[in-house]
Amino acid sequence: MREIKIPYIDYMAQRWKALYLSGALILITFVSLAIQGLNFGLDFTGGTVIELGYQEPVETAEVSQALEGAGLTGVTVQYFGSNRDVLLRIPPSGETNNAALSQKVFDTLAAAAGGKVEMRRVEFVGPQVGEELTEQGGLAVLYSVFGILIYVALRFEWRFSVGAVAATVHDAIIVLGVFSIFQLDFDLNVLASVLTVVGYSLNDTIVIFDRVRENFRKVRKGTPLQIMNQSVNETMSRTIITAGTVFLVVIALYLFGGETLRGFSLALLVGLVSGTWSTIYIASNVAILLGVSPANLAVPKKEGEGAGAQV
């Protein structure tokens, strides 16, 4: 039996400092969101994206020049993964004839590169679709938060529920903050990963709350704060191992999943760290601040233990 010896730490002693830190990070995020907002990707803004694969390395300046020479202005040119892959962004315009536009762009560049270029991907999203997506995305987050709030309130108690949701919202905000501060591309895949973070962070929180629930019923001595501390410590080895293994998987996704999944896996990485942090310091903290006590869970229900073993 190999085991990491994890020292018993009084996590809750640092709870105010931790709250200030999280508060500061959220404040920074809000400032960044207010000033520069999110760098919304094609899915939300509408427009055209063209990915080209060159046989030989190419300078983005050359590509821009070739396009401007053909009267195609307003096209953003950037590398996508390597210096042979180029991503072109064309903002939405009134012109709906996208196929003709993207063909013209491709023909222009193919001529400039002597034919040594390949069209890898063309995506066009109408502005109307983008608006709908933004709306749907916002609603999706809202509805899942509500669903979770209700479920946790039913399974635990409303104070836990609020704590769990506070931790979750905290993580979503931190991920948004990273994408806003560094102006990373926020597309549909990143939205999916924000929702995944919501799910993961909750799972993490629930595991600790599950232990708190158990200890509240079992341990008769000690303040709620002490029991909370004990529960966090008891589950710490699991927290570290799970976070570690998921981290391994997501790192693999980030490093080997290709450019398409980079934003997605980065959001997951940030969310993973934030999720572990918020489980300890936001979820438990908020529940304590709301005055959670063993009395709230005094009636032992039959759920959990044994009852659901027959899957």
Partner 1 sequence: MNRYPLWKNLMILGIVLLGVILALPNVFSQDPSIEVSAARRTEMTAGSADEIRAALENAKVPFKRIDTLDNGKLLVRFTSSGDQLRGQEAIENTLSERYRSALTLSTDLPGWVQALGLKPMTLGLDLRGGVYVLIDVDMEAAVGQALDRYVEEIRTQLRDAKVRYTTVSRVQNQVVVRFADAQAREAGYKIIAKDFSDLKLENVDQGGDNLISLAMTPMQEKQLKDFALQQNVTTLRNRVNALGVAEPNIARQGDRRIVVQLPGAQDPGRLKEILGATATLEYRLVDTEHSVADAEAGKVPAASRLYRDRDGRPVLLKRRVIVTGDQITDAASGFDPQSGTPMVTVALDAPGGRRMFDMTTENVGKPMAVVFIENRTITKQVDGKPVKQTQKVEEVISVATIREPFGRRFQTTGLDSSEEAHNLALLLRAGALAAPIQIVEERTVGPSLGQDNIDQGMMSVIIGFLAVVVFMGVYYSWFGMVANVVLLLNLVLIVAVMGLLGATLTMPGIAGMVLTIGMAVDANVLIFERMREEIRNGNTPQACIAAGYDKALSAIIDGNVTTLIAAVVLFSFGTGPIKGFAVTLTVGLIASMFTAITCSRAMINWIWGGKRLKSLPV
Chain positions 259 to 288 lying near partner 1, rule: CB under 8 A, are 260-261, 264-265, 268
For 13-49, letters b (16+ CB in 10 Å) and e give eebeebeeebeebeeebeebbeeeebebbbbbbbbbb
CB of 114 to partner 1, least distance (A): 18
CB of 244 to partner 1, least distance (A): 8
Nearer to partner 1, 72 or 140 (CB): 140
Nearer to partner 1, 21 or 111 (CB): 111
Nearer to partner 1, 69 or 258 (CB): 258
How far is 191 from 196, CA to CA, in rounded Å? 9
How far is 52 from 183, CA to CA, in rounded Å? 23
Coil, strand, or helix at residue 76? Answer: strand
Site for partner 1 in 201-220 (CB under 8 A): 202-204, 206-207, 210-211, 214
Of the residues 21, 24, 129, 219, which one makes contact with partner 1 according to CB under 8 A: 129
> Would you count residue 137 as binding partner 1 (CB under 8 A)?
yes
Of the residues 148, 166, 283, 288, which one makes contact with partner 1 according to CB under 8 A: 148
Number of residues that bind partner 1 (CB under 8 A): 82
Taking alpha carbons only, the member of 310, 296, 100, 141 closest to residue 217 is 296
Site for partner 1 in 218-247 (CB under 8 A): 234-235, 237-238, 241-242, 244-246
Site for partner 1 in 95-114 (CB under 8 A): 96, 98-100, 102-103
Which segments within the chain are labelled E, that is strand? 39-40, 47-54, 76-80, 82-90, 117-125, 185-186
Coil, strand, or helix at residue 187? Answer: coil
